[in-house]
Amino acid sequence: MAIDKLHFESPRGWRLAGRYLLLAGVAFVVLFPVYTTVIASLKPGNRVLRNPLLPDAFTLDVFQDAWTEGHLGRYLVNSFVVAAVVTIAQVATSVLSAYAFAMLDFPGRGVLFVVFLATLLVPLEATLVVNRRTVDSLGWLNSYQGLAVPFLATAFGTFLLRQVFLGLPTDLRDAAAIDGVGHVGFLRHVGVPLVRPTLGALALFSFLSSWNQYLWPNLITTEDDMNTVQSGLRLLRYSALRTPNLLMAGTVIAAIPIFVVLLLFQRQLVRGLTAGAVKG
């Protein structure tokens, strides 16, 4: 029977065993850098390089050092504050502008839409030279404002949500208007609840891209206390180069929050990725 040969039929016997072996082998290779990192972070300093591939010693002290000496605790707080502010603001500004573009008819809409579209073509890396000067002249170096404010809006979110709003039947808005519901009321009671799944994906992406920013915090942070996790790891890379277990413990601490976030929000991740959420 030809159908048996179809690749989505599950194999049996030796072929099944072979398939599992292959999967396990590939999984081992993919996880290898994570494995060496984790076992290095769990070893005392004098044992790290003796058998770098074997977990033959164990201590949690290094994590304590990374947390306090490496200031990872402080950096995590900074990253979290900035990412939370950016996420909330991006969702709010995107909802408002997407609604305006999708549901309101006003003169100049076409021109403004092109302005938004144009910002999508400008890569972050082309703007940071000037943004650093702007933030400097505002006195925002080494501050939460400096880290967050340039990213409080995103044309990408506007387009994503506009697409969803365009899918809502216009009757819905008309009926609400006849009932005397204003735009804000309509957004709150009808619009936002209807686009909630897309909002979730957008929020996750805003959070991730803010949390993962590397170049920007490096450019505007000179005081140790204001580093984010990512720019803090850069400092650790130079201060802890002779103590690889400390460096790896810092790396593990920095990685854990995002692993947890993605475990919790897998569905939004796939949804966001397949919608083309790939800026940054």
Partner 1 sequence: MRNLPVALAMLAPSLVILVTFVLYPLGKAIWLGHQRCDVEGANCESNGWDQYWDAFRSDQFQNALLVTAKFALITVPLGLVLGIGLAVLADKWLRGIGVFRAVFSSTVATSVAVASLMWLFLLQPDVGALSNVGWLGDLFPVIKNPGLLRDPGTALTSIALSSVWANLGFTFILVTAALQGVPRDLLEAAAIDGAGGPRRFWSVTLPMLGPTLLFVVIVLTTRAFQAYGEVDLLTSGGPRPQDSTTTITYLTYGQESIIRNNAGLQATVAVLLFAVLLVLSLLQLRGIGRRVHYGN
Of 278, 229, 235, 232, the residue nearest 258 (C-alpha) = 229
Name which position in 17, 18, 21, 22 contacts partner 1 (CB under 8 A): 22
Residue 269 as a binder of partner 1 (CB under 8 A): the answer is yes
Of 211, 217, 108, 100, the residue nearest 165 (C-alpha) = 100
Residue 242 as a binder of partner 1 (CB under 8 A): the answer is yes
> Burial of 38 by CB count in 10 Å (0-12 exposed, 13-18 middle, 19+ buried)?
middle
Nearer to partner 1, 82 or 250 (CB): 250
Site for partner 1 in 114-143 (CB under 8 A): 115-116, 118-131, 133-134
Name which position in 195, 203, 204, 254 contacts partner 1 (CB under 8 A): 254
Residue 175 as a binder of partner 1 (CB under 8 A): the answer is no
Residue 177 as a binder of partner 1 (CB under 8 A): the answer is no
Name which position in 93, 142, 143, 239 contacts partner 1 (CB under 8 A): 93
Structure tokens of 236?
């650790």
CB of 193 to partner 1, least distance (A): 18
**Identity (one letter) of the amino acid at 1?**
M
Query: CA 163, CA 197: separation in Å to the nearest integer?
Result: 13
Per DSSP, the three-state class of 106 is: coil
Query: CA 49, CA 39: separation in Å to the nearest integer?
Result: 11
Residue 211 as a binder of partner 1 (CB under 8 A): the answer is yes
Query: CA 129, CA 98: separation in Å to the nearest integer?
Result: 29
Residue 264 as a binder of partner 1 (CB under 8 A): the answer is no
Nearer to partner 1, 107 or 180 (CB): 107
Structure tokens of 200?
């979730």
Residue 112 as a binder of partner 1 (CB under 8 A): the answer is yes
Residue 55 has φ and ψ, to the nearest 5°, of -80, 75
CB of 170 to partner 1, least distance (A): 14
Site for partner 1 in 38-57 (CB under 8 A): 40, 49-50, 52-53
Cβ proximity of 240 and 233 under 8 Å: no
Nearer to partner 1, 78 or 230 (CB): 230
Total residues at interface with partner 1 (CB under 8 A): 98
